[in-house]
Structure 1
Amino acid sequence: MTLIKSISGIRGTIGGQPSENLTPIDAVKFAASYGSWLKNSRDKKQLKVVVGRDARISGPMIQQLVMNTLVGLGIDVIDLDLSTTPTVEVAVPMEKADGGIILTASHNPKQWNALKLLNEKGEFLNSAEGAEILEMAEKADFDFAEVDDLGSIVKVDHYIDTHIEEVVMLPLVDAKKIAEAGFTVAVDGVNSTGGIAIPKLLKRLGVKVIELYCEPTGHFPHNPEPLKEHLHEISDLVQREKADFGIVVDPDVDRLAFISEDGEMFGEEYTLVACADYVLSKTPGNTVSNLSSSRALRDITEKHGGKYEASAVGEVNVVELMKKNDAVIGGEGNGGIIYPELHYGRDSLVGVALFLSFLAEKQMKVSELRKSYPSYFMSKNKIELTPELDVDEILRQVEQKYSGEEVSTIDGVKIDFPNHWVHLRKSNTEPIIRIYTEAGSQEKADEVAQKMIGEIKEIASLS
């Protein structure tokens, strides 16, 4: 069982020993730390925090613990109950709240849960803020409110609908054209809150919906990470029902994958590519994704006359670079669309609406759209090293060896070759180097990865 404390929040498995797993004691401690940090950093008498959760079985328990801890600190709570990560992010500024907590372990299996922490803009905290909260949690020096100063809980149940309306009202979402296209779309909601939000959005846009696992029971019918090997049923359903395409989201609805009408994966990396292609065709500008995302976004951005830049891995890093570069769209290659016109957070609802608008305009099959993009293939590997080896020194030697190529060291070492790239990242908790490669064929991507693994082993043997 595991408890992982990071700058973006606390994530762990339910049950077991405190400080080793996400137990009720840990949920209270970290909620108290976040609430205390808010009180220390805001010059206000009364604070307000928005709380929402995905449909995990442990969600109601963790939610009550978190909300009532905030109440005990004298903080008012807006309870969204079942919600999505992007919906909570949208609700925070709408409620003029001081922060937000999303209770979700994203794509992790059902035994996991997490507290994801937001600022007053509905955006993830930066590294300094996250570190401060972790430090406060270690000290556990909390000052709870006296009885007359306790906070309150107000339940608000309209925010998924409000979020949908905000998406539909975006200038680039062509609701009329989508409705006229007469789409039929299959949806796999993995029995979480995507099963509420995505069908509602589609019906609002005049799309016929075929639902698969859209009951928010929290009993995930398959591994909830939206990867090809987990999605046989939705793939079969799309073909059997002759749907125009399929939509798959993770439990908290910030990752989005499409299934083409022929049952093939559109490719999570290409979710952002297609949405960016549409947005850039209407509003030319710059884009950002992280270093481990497909080169295809760079190609599409340059085709539209924009500039592409890559950030360190992590949503907060992508958002920071998007703001710096005035990017019109960005995100992560795992199917995360960040469209600043609505908010700075990965949002599957926005992605679905932009994709439908593009498809309605193009009047082409999803498989045809996919074929119109450059084809890249990824290989993801890792190499385990002995604990006494200096991983930083190994990466430094790799960087030195390839100094004649285009090299980035903002997050590990990424080497851009003319026709492929390699990205090496070290684990923060164990002597592992993760190796991501991308090339024009799967064989080439695998070959490049194995070559790099061999070179790392050689460097390690001489260290």
Structure 2
Amino acid sequence: MALIKSISGIRGTIGGSAGEGLSPIDIVKFTAAYAQWLKETNSSLKHKVVVGRDARISGEMVQKLVVGTLMGYGVNVIDAGLATTPTVEVAVTMENADGGIILTASHNPKQWNALKLLNSKGEFLSDADGKRILTIAETDAYSFVNVDDLGKVVGEASYNQKHIDMVLSLKSVDVKAVKDAKLKVVVDAVNSVGGVVIPDLLEQMGVEVVKLYCEPNGLFPHNPEPLPEHLVDIANLVVQEKAHLGIVVDPDVDRLAFVCEDGSMFGEEYTLVAVADYLLSQSKGNVVSNLSSSRALKDIAIKHGVEYYASAVGEVNVVAKMKEVGAVIGGEGNGGVIYPEIHYGRDALVGVAIFLTHLAHSKKTCLEMRNSYPNYFISKNKIELTPAINVDQVLEKVKAKYADNQINDIDGVRIDIENKWVHLRKSNTEPIIRIYSEAPTSAEAEAFAGQIIADIRSICNL
């Protein structure tokens, strides 16, 4: 069993003893800590929180515990039911709510669930706010209301459609062009909430939809992380159906990947690249991604004559950098598209609508579009160290060795050498250094990672 407590929320496996997995006791405890934090930071007499969930098996159980606990704290609840992560985020602002809780473990397997916590802007909490909630949970500093002050619940299942309406009303989305393109698309939504929302969005854009794993029953038919090795079925079906492309989302619909008409992967890293390319062709502005994302986005920024900025890894860090530099588009290389025109959160619905607009305007096939972008390959590795080794000192020594090159140390150490880079980040829970490297070929990326691993082994006398 596992329970992971972080500033962005509480994630764990269902079952087991309290404190070892995401037990009902832990769900109540951390929901109460969040409600207490709301009272500390907002003087409203009656607070309001939006709650939504993905379709995983444990969702209904977790939802009832969360809603009941909020009521016990005197918080009114807008129950959005089955809703995507970005849908809950926009619902918070549309409801003028004080916050939101999304019940999803994102791409984790079915035994996992989580409480993702939002502020009144529908955004993930700051580092300080997240730490405060964890402190409250550790001290059991709760104060529930009496019977006359219990919160009330309003069911509101319309937010998925309201979210779709918001997306289709964006100036950057051309519904007519997509309809005229007469596209046929296969959708793999891993039997979660995306199986309802993504087909609805596509059909309202005039797209013919072939559904694969779109029954929202939480029975994931494959590993829900949208990586190439998990997408064999949709790749085959795209070819079999002679579809123009395939669309893949994770269980809570904040990550987005495409499959080309020949069954090849467009690449999660290139979701943001393609969306940014189209948006920058319409209006100029800065772009942001995190340090572990492909440099292809920087190439697109240079192509359009705008500035590219890198942030620390994590959605909250990307959003902070986007606000700082006034970025018009940003996101992460895991298929996460953040478009501030609608809200500051990764949103697969936005990504789908803009990508299809781009495809329709370009008159290219999906594969032709992919081949129009710079080709890079990312290698992901890690090295395990002993607990006695000071990981920070190791990173400092690596940084010193490559000091003559471009270095970014806002989040671990990233080293750029000509047309390749490597990013080293330490784990917060284990003596591990994660090593991501990118180069024009897979062989070069692997070789660069191997070089860094050899350096670390030498430094540590391993």
Percent of aligned positions that are identical? 63
Give the superposition deviation at 1:80.
0.6
Q: Secondary structure at the match of 1:134?
A: helix
Matched with 1:361 is: 361
Give the superposition deviation at 1:377.
0.1
Amino acid corresponding to residue 453 of structure 1 in structure 2: I
Alignment of 1:113-192 (within 5 A): 113-192=113-192
Give the superposition deviation at 1:419.
1.5
Matched with 2:31 is: 31
Asked if 1:370 corresponds to 2:370, the answer is yes
Matched with 1:84 is: 84
Q: Work out the CA distance in 1 between the residues paired with 2:390 and 2:73.
A: 44
Runs of 4+ in 1 over 4 A off after TM superposition: none
Matched with 2:107 is: 107
Alignment of 1:222-237 (within 5 A): 222-237=222-237
Matched with 1:339 is: 339
Matched with 1:350 is: 350
Give a deviation string over 1:420-452, Cα, whole Å, max 9, x none. Answer: 000000001111000000000000001111111
Amino acid corresponding to residue 133 of structure 1 in structure 2: I
Amino acid corresponding to residue 276 of structure 1 in structure 2: A
Gaps of 5+ in 1: none
Q: Work out the CA distance in 2 between the residues paired with 1:68 and 1:302.
A: 51
Q: Work out the CA distance in 2 between the residues paired with 1:368 and 1:357.
A: 15
Matched with 1:422 is: 422
Q: Work out the CA distance in 1 between the residues paired with 2:429 and 2:362.
A: 47
Amino acid corresponding to residue 271 of structure 1 in structure 2: T
Q: Work out the CA distance in 1 between the residues paired with 2:74 and 2:162.
A: 28
Q: Work out the CA distance in 1 between the residues paired with 2:337 and 2:289.
A: 10
Q: Secondary structure at the match of 1:327?
A: coil
- CA-based RMSD of the aligned residues comes to 0.6
Amino acid corresponding to residue 291 of structure 2 in structure 1: L
Q: Work out the CA distance in 2 between the residues paired with 1:100 and 1:306.
A: 34
Matched with 2:286 is: 286
Matched with 1:413 is: 413
Q: Work out the CA distance in 2 between the residues paired with 1:303 and 1:284.
A: 11
Matched with 1:219 is: 219
TM superposition score normalised by structure 1: 0.99
Asked if 1:98 corresponds to 2:98, the answer is yes
Matched with 1:445 is: 445
Matched with 2:252 is: 252
Give the superposition deviation at 1:40.
1.1
Q: Work out the CA distance in 1 between the residues paired with 2:309 and 2:107.
A: 26
Amino acid corresponding to residue 188 of structure 1 in structure 2: D
TM superposition score normalised by structure 2: 1.00
Give the superposition deviation at 1:302.
1.1
Larger mean Cα displacement after TM superposition, 453-462 or 363-372 = 453-462
Matched with 2:196 is: 196
Give a deviation string over 1:165-210, Cα, whole Å, max 9, x none. Answer: 0000000100011111100000001000010110000000000000
Give a deviation string over 1:3-62, Cα, whole Å, max 9, x none. Answer: 000000000000001011100000000000001100111011010000000001000000
Matched with 1:22 is: 22
Matched with 2:394 is: 394
- The number of residue pairs the alignment matches comes to 462
Q: Work out the CA distance in 2 between the residues paired with 1:316 and 1:386.
A: 31
Matched with 1:263 is: 263
Q: Work out the CA distance in 2 between the residues paired with 1:431 and 1:43.
A: 42
Matched with 1:458 is: 458
Give a deviation string over 1:244-279, Cα, whole Å, max 9, x none. Answer: 000000000000000000000000000000000000
Matched with 2:72 is: 72
Matched with 2:11 is: 11
Q: Work out the CA distance in 2 between the residues paired with 1:31 and 1:56.
A: 19
Q: Work out the CA distance in 2 between the residues paired with 1:128 and 1:404.
A: 35
Give a deviation string over 1:210-244, Cα, whole Å, max 9, x none. Answer: 00000000000000000000000000000000000
Q: Work out the CA distance in 1 between the residues paired with 2:202 and 2:419.
A: 39
Give the superposition deviation at 1:338.
0.1
Amino acid corresponding to residue 29 of structure 2 in structure 1: K
Q: Work out the CA distance in 2 between the residues paired with 1:235 and 1:44.
A: 51
